[in-house]
Structures are given as C-alpha cells and as structure tokens.
C-alpha cells in the first residue's frame, strides 16, 4: 500500500499538501501518514516553565492533527495514521522516513509566495538525493478544484 507522508502545521500550504496527499491516497488505494511536529523549546533555567511550554505545544499539535484527521475523513474518506513527534523538523522527518519503509512519497506544500518554506528548501535541496522516496511539492496557491484534478 502506498503511504503518503504529509507534515501538519498551521500554515495554509500544509493544508494544501494534506488535501493533495489524501486525494492521491484515495485515488491510488493508499494511505496517509500525518506527522505533526513539536519543535523543541529553547532551554529554560526554570524546568517547570519549560515543561509547561512543551506540553502546551504538544497539545496544540495533537489538536491540529485531530482537526486534520476529521477533515481528511470527511473530504476524501481517508482515516490517516498520525504521529506527533518532538524535535528538529528535518531530523524528525528523516527519522520517520527511515523508520517507516512503506512511505511512497513525502508530500510538502510550498508557500504561495516568497520562500517556499524551510522543509521544502531542505528536502528539495540538500537532502533530495539521499531520500528513500520521492518528494512531492504542492504549490500553495492551488484551490480545492485544482488539487482534486491534479491528484
């Protein structure tokens, strides 16, 4: 089964990439793995404060993934697998790709204007030749009809 790995965050381009991954999975009989990233918090001398900040970030990521999962189920009939991981985004994605051999593609959304975003820049640049699967970059300016047509 083809599994499309999509990164969930609060950006508009992530929503576009998730929709593309879900539509592609639905059309190919595949699955979607949604990865929500919790970036590490800068070290704080006040351990309790740092722990609270990290827990709040994890709760936001879990709420985002719950919302995304509901949307994917409603729009594409796909019930995604979900991972919530903490750490450097590039390292977490690399580890996820290495630990999950069934991933057919890493699906990332490019920002509608300006820089494409740090993950797109990294995985389409420095790491592109070392990945175990293709990278699909979905333009952030695509509307729902275009995504449905292209997927």
Residue 136: CB atoms within 10 A of its CB come to 19
Q: What CATH number does the domain containing 24 carry?
A: 3.40.50.620
Residue 2: CB atoms within 10 A of its CB come to 15
Residues 32, 3: contact at Cβ < 8 Å? yes
Domain that holds residue 39: 3-150
76: pLDDT strictly greater than 80 = no
pLDDT in tens, 21-61: 988 998 899 999 989 887 766 655 555 666 666 666 666 76
pTM value surpassing 0.75: yes
Count of structural domains within the chain: 1
Instruction: Give SS3 for 79.
Output: coil
pLDDT in tens, 123-150: 998 878 899 999 999 999 999 889 889 8
């Amino acid at each position: 089964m083809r599994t499309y790995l999509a990164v969930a965050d609060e950006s508009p381009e992530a929503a576009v990439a998730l929709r593309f991954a879900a539509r592609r999975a639905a059309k190919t009989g595949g699955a979607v793995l949604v990865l929500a990233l919790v970036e590490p918090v800068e070290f704080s001398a006040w351990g309790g404060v740092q722990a609270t900040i990290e827990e709040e970030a994890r709760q936001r990521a879990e709420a985002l993934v719950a919302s995304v999962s509901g949307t994917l189920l409603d729009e594409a009939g796909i019930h995604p697998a979900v991972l919530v991981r903490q750490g450097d985004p590039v390292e977490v994605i690399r580890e996820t790709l290495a630990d999950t051999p069934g991933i057919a593609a890493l699906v990332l959304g490019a920002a509608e204007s300006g820089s494409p975003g740090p993950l797109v820049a990294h995985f389409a640049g420095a790491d592109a030749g070392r990945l175990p699967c293709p990278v699909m970059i979905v333009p952030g300016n695509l509307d729902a009809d275009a995504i449905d047509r292209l997927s």
